[in-house]
Amino acid sequence: MSNDIVDTNTLPFKIINNVKYKFIFDESTGAKHLIMRIAEVPPGGSVPKHVHEDEEQAYLILEGEGIVIIDGKKYRVRKGYAVYIPINAVHEVINDGSTTLKYVFFNAKVRK
């Protein structure tokens, strides 16, 4: 299978701070401006506060529910919700639900 079409079911998870990630597209697969990953945050888990200085980001919630905090403002999210995170926005994800919070996320790098 080429890098253009990926069966995400066959990708291994990488665990970072107790969050499971599947790395789908990025520079290592030939994408120049796009990153695509799947994240699975366990109940009680979180993706800590961070910022992207050269990327916009978007999430599509696939399963579960939780809170996304963007520049200090809390948003409750659940399956079917989409989230946009602008460049330089401080953001974090918190799973305060009882099931895994699963979402696909995309980062689009600023073209220089």
Exposure string (b/e) for 20-34, b if CB count within 10 Å is 16 or more?
Answer: bbbbbbeeeeebeee
> Which pLDDT band, with edges at 50, 70 and 90, does 24 fall under?
very high
Structural domains of the chain, ranges and CATH numbers in brackets = 12-109 (2.60.120.10)
Residue 59 has a CB neighbour count (10 Å cut-off) of 19
3-state secondary structure of 94: strand
Residue 37 has a CB neighbour count (10 Å cut-off) of 18
Give the integer Cα–Cα distance in Å for 25 and 4.
Answer: 9
Q: What is the pLDDT of residue 110?
A: 82
Phi/psi region, residue 52 (left: phi>0; alpha: psi -120 to 50; beta: rest), is beta
pTM beyond 0.85: the answer is yes
pLDDT tens for each residue of 13-22: 999 999 999 9
